[in-house]
Structure formats: structure tokens, C-alpha cells
Amino acid sequence: MKKIISWGIVLLCFSQIVLAQNASDALRYSRIFYSGTARYQGMAGAFGAVGGDFSVLVTNPAGIGLFRSTEVTLTPSLWINHATSLYNNTNSTDNNANVNIGNVGIIFAIKPHEKSNSDGIQNFNLGIGFNHQNNFSSHVFMGGQNNSSSLMTNFVNELNTFPGGITPGMISDTYPFDIGPAYDANLIVYDSASGKYWCDAPHGGVFQKESVNTSGSINEFDISLGGNFNDKLYFGATIGLPSINFTEKTQYSEIRSDTAKVHEFRQLIYDQYLNTTGFGINLKVGLIYRPVYWLRMGAAIHTPTYYGNMKDSWHSSFSSEFDSAQWNQSVTSPDGYYEYKLTTPFRAIGGLAFTIGDFGLISGEYEYVNYGQARFHEDGSSDTSVNRQIKNSFISPVNVRLGTEWRIQNFRIRGGFGYYGSPYKAGINKGEMMVISGGLGYRGKHYFVDLAYSWYQTKEDYYFYDPILVNPSHNTLTNHNISATFGIRF
């Protein structure tokens, strides 16, 4: 199951099924929002120059060099999604929640030295564990009156402009997952006299609704090795093994609301299902340099992630209802399956951290990633129309993270802010994301506990079908993440 983007790059959020990848799929798996420990989340992920936290394995692995003892962490999280939409002056809302594991892992202090040994390698550390990245869990509901078009208007236009013409017998083979089932459900009619197709609601007069429910995540298993040279230079590398599991269930419906415009047609229901899985590999290397006690400078680069076995499976169905019951039909598509390869973009992260005596720290970092560099690989080639679309649709946005942590004896107070700029070229869509976070912690000699709350918000436009025919639904997604980290040292 895939999403058609055939009228230009503005259709990056238009959902229809075709047998091909599209630019929005590449963006979904390239745009990474790191999760991890509650300390990391409480500072909005601004850890590129801080180190000393398990989550740095996936951002700047040099941070592993700051550990002086073996440490085990576990982070359960509660993810709450709230979505609002505005479509043709109608407001809608939807909510859902799920529980996940932000991280679980261990850092081994392999070769600690006595404190008197102040020169040379101070220690080597090994980190192994799991980090949660993108959480795809969301429920979005959109609905409103349309007095100008129907989904069937879009399908009829597609058939009537098919190059060289298309006969009814060709429809199911040419469009097996959308127009084909709609035609078999009697929602599209062929006029043999004119050789044209028509539908019963070409000019609207219908109330349209769509729910889009997604689930899954990107999770990465990480193996890291790093060290500390002279308490000045920290270095590290991580081999990342990410896995994708994404499921989308969409139900679109139209109900007759204006009998002057619509006669026989009563309603249609269009269900779509997609599941995507994939496994990849990447390498991250980083450095943290501390020229003076109060300043740390961090830098890291991430190779592109190569997903060598992406797999999609999908199906769809149409059901129709008319005044004349003999026209009512329910039609299910065949099952679709496709395998392909994907490479996500290169990343670079640079940051600074300032310590204020023994009282606290302030840190900030900038992340460079050009989403236009993502590529699908088919039959050994990356020179495809969808890759050209990716290159022409996406840019390198401004991604920044700021965080702070303050100490009151054994207690910690944290706050953070993140801004992820729109990945789209100007005029295509919105897509910026803001993150505001805060947290508390307690650090004992052999254990620690951290709590964090993160608020995320992003806005994007969603089109039910061809934007020439339909207005966008203006969607706002607000996510709340509550996490707790439990850790022990020995």
C-alpha cells in the first residue's frame, strides 16, 4: 500500500494506494526523533557535548568515554497523542496512548585507572543496549462537508484522462487497490455511448470523513566502544542496527448530505491497510574535547542508514450503498507485497556545553541532515522518478536542541527546548516540530532515578485526494511523553 503523489510535490500528504514508494515514505524513516533516558529527554536531547548518559550512544558516542563505572538503565515511557483538524470549517479531535520502552542497556567500564594516573588513556567503555527512536503511534480524525467534489470525482478524472483511453476490462489490472475496487462497487459508471466515465456525486454534496491510525516505531540496537584520553579528549563509535515496524490503517467515507446534488448514491467506505518492516545498519563516530574545566565541545557524524530488506504488505476494500439496494457492493482488493531497499541521509551533530562550577550546566547543539539525500534502490539503480521527487521536495532544515541541568545536593532539575525545522521546500507544506521538556532526578552513590515530561507539537496539511479538487485538512498533532529511568551503578 502506497500513497500516490502524482500531481506534484504538494501531494506529499495525499493518501492513495499505488505499487511504488513515494517521497513521504522516505521522509518518515529519515526524520529521526531520539528518545532514550529520562535525563536525555528532560534536556530535550541536547547531549552532543555533555556525555555520560546511555542515550549518547545514538547521537554522539564519544559521551560513553565519560563513564567511570558500570551502569545499567531501564526507561519505560507513556506516550499520549492528541490530534486536532480543521477541514472545510469543521473541527475534529482524536486521542490515543501507548506504553513503550525508551531504552534498556548497560555500560561496562572495561579498564578504569587509578585517579593518580592523570596522563594517557584513563578508561575504555563498552555499551550495549536498545534505544527507542520514532514513535509512530497516532490517531487523526478529519471530517467536513464538501460541496464541490467527491473522491469519485478524482477517480473519474483519472480514468477519463488515461493516456490512450482505458476500457472497463482494464481497470482492475491497472488500479487494483483503489479505482478498480471502486468501479467494481458500482461507484463509477462507464457510458459506452460517449466512452467516458462518470459518478453520482461529481460536484460534491457529501460529508467526508477520514481516520488515520498509525502505530509502530523505529528501534535501534546499539553496540558502542569509547574511551577517555587524559580527561581532555573523549572518543567513541557506535554500530547501530535499527529496525522499522510501521502500520497504518485508514478509513475514508462519504455520506450523501445534499439530495439536490446527489441522487442514487448514499455512502461509501474505503478501508486501507499498510504494514512496513525493515532492518538496517549504520555507523556513528564522535569526539568530545574539554580544553578547560567549564567547556566541552562535541562533534559526531552518522553514516547513512542502509535498509537492505524493506518489505511492504497492503490491501484495501470498498463498500457502497445506494437507494437501489441491488447496486450495493463490498469489494476487497488483492493482497499487495513489495520488497525494496532504502538509504537515509548522512547526519552531523555539533554542540557546546558549559558547566557552572558544581551547580549545573547549559548545553546546545545543531544537527545537520539533508532529507533530500534519501534514496530508494530498485534493481540496483537509484535513478528513479521518486528519488528525483525526494531531491526536489526536501531540504536541510534548522534542527537545534538546548538543555540545562541544575544540582541541589543529590537532586537534579532539568529543562530543554528543541526545534526541528520544516523538511519541505518552501510552499509545499509545514512540518516544523517544537519540543519543550522538563525533568527531575535523584543521584545516589549506587543508583539513580529520573523523571521527564516532553511536549511535542507539529502542524501539517493533509489532502484526501487531488488538491486541485479538495481543500486541505489543517492538522495539529500534540504529543506528550512521560518517562522514568531507573539506573544502578557498580
Cell match 476494500: residue?
317
Q: Name the least confident of 39-48, 80-89, 205-214, 426-435.
A: 426-435
Backbone region of residue 186 per phi and psi (left: phi > 0; alpha: psi in -120 to 50; beta: other values): left
Q: So what's the pLDDT on residue 122?
A: 83
Identify which has the larger pLDDT, 141 or 427: 141
Return the C-alpha cell found at 211: 481516520
pLDDT in tens, 395-419: 999 999 999 999 999 999 999 999 9
Q: So what's the pLDDT on residue 118?
A: 61
Q: Is residue 13 part of a domain?
A: yes
Q: Is residue 322 part of a domain?
A: yes
> Residue 152 is which amino acid?
M
The torsion of the CA quartet 35, 38, 40, 44, rounded to 10 degrees, works out to: 80
Report the distance separating Cα 248 and Cα 437, nearest Å.
28
Q: Is residue 56 part of a domain?
A: yes
The DSSP element (H or E) to which 283 belongs, if any, is strand 265-292
**Alpha-carbon Rg for the chain in angstroms:** 26
* Burial bucket for residue 308 (CB in 10 Å: 0-12, 13-18, 19+): middle
Strands 306-322 and 265-292 turn out to be antiparallel
Label residue 104 by pLDDT band (50, 70, 90): very high
Return the C-alpha cell found at 26: 522516505
Q: In this structure, what CATH number is given to the domain that contains residue 480?
A: 2.40.160.60
Does residue 17 register a pLDDT over 50? no
Report the distance separating Cα 21 and Cα 28, nearest Å.
12
DSSP 488: E
Name the H helices within 3-150.
23-30, 38-42
Q: Which of 409, 465, 422, 452 is closest to 46 using CA atoms?
A: 452
Contact between 49 and 437 under an 8 Å Cβ cutoff? The reply is no
Averaged pLDDT for residues 42-47? 95
Report the distance separating Cα 272 and Cα 465, nearest Å.
14
Q: Is residue 2 part of a domain?
A: no
Report the distance separating Cα 425 and Cα 10, nearest Å.
10
Strands 265-292 and 295-302 turn out to be antiparallel
Q: Which of 322, 301, 307 is closest to 276 using CA atoms?
A: 307
Q: So what's the pLDDT on residue 259?
A: 87
Structural domain tally of the chain?
Answer: 1
Q: What is the pTM of this model?
A: 0.90
* Per-position b or e across 257-280, b if 16+ CB within 10 A of its CB: beeebbeebbebbbbbbbbbbbeb
Report the distance separating Cα 140 and Cα 71, nearest Å.
40
Count of CB atoms situated within 10 Å of the CB of 145: 15
Does residue 379 register a pLDDT over 90? no
Contact between 310 and 87 under an 8 Å Cβ cutoff? The reply is no
- Which residues on neighbouring strands pair with residue 94, listed in sequence order? 83
- Helix (H) and strand (E) counts for the chain? 6, 21
Does residue 55 register a pLDDT over 90? yes
DSSP 34: -
Q: Which of 381, 275, 390 is closest to 344 using CA atoms?
A: 390
Q: Name the least confident of 226-230, 283-287, 413-417.
A: 226-230
Does residue 115 register a pLDDT over 60? no
Q: What percent of the chain has pLDDT over 70?
A: 93
Q: So what's the pLDDT on residue 16?
A: 40
Does residue 282 register a pLDDT over 80? yes
Q: Which of 110, 46, 47, 41 is closest to 76 using CA atoms?
A: 41
> Residue 173 is which amino acid?
D
Label residue 18 by pLDDT band (50, 70, 90): very low
Q: Is residue 1 part of a domain?
A: no
Label residue 429 by pLDDT band (50, 70, 90): confident
Q: So what's the pLDDT on residue 110?
A: 82
Which of 235-239, 392-396, 430-434 is most confident?
235-239
Does residue 448 register a pLDDT over 80? yes
Q: So what's the pLDDT on residue 220?
A: 96
pLDDT in tens, 335-347: 999 999 999 999 9
Q: Is residue 108 part of a domain?
A: yes
Contact between 78 and 102 under an 8 Å Cβ cutoff? The reply is no
pLDDT in tens, 118-148: 667 888 999 999 999 899 999 999 999 999 9
Cell match 534519501: residue?
374
Q: So what's the pLDDT on residue 430?
A: 80
Q: So what's the pLDDT on residue 20?
A: 55
Q: Is residue 169 part of a domain?
A: yes
Averaged pLDDT for residues 86-102? 94
Q: So what's the pLDDT on residue 381?
A: 59
Does residue 15 register a pLDDT over 70? no
Tell me which residue range forms the domain holding 183: 9-489
Label residue 3 by pLDDT band (50, 70, 90): very low
Q: So what's the pLDDT on residue 296?
A: 96
Report the distance separating Cα 163 and Cα 142, nearest Å.
33
Q: Is residue 246 part of a domain?
A: yes
As a whole number, the mean pLDDT across the chain is 91
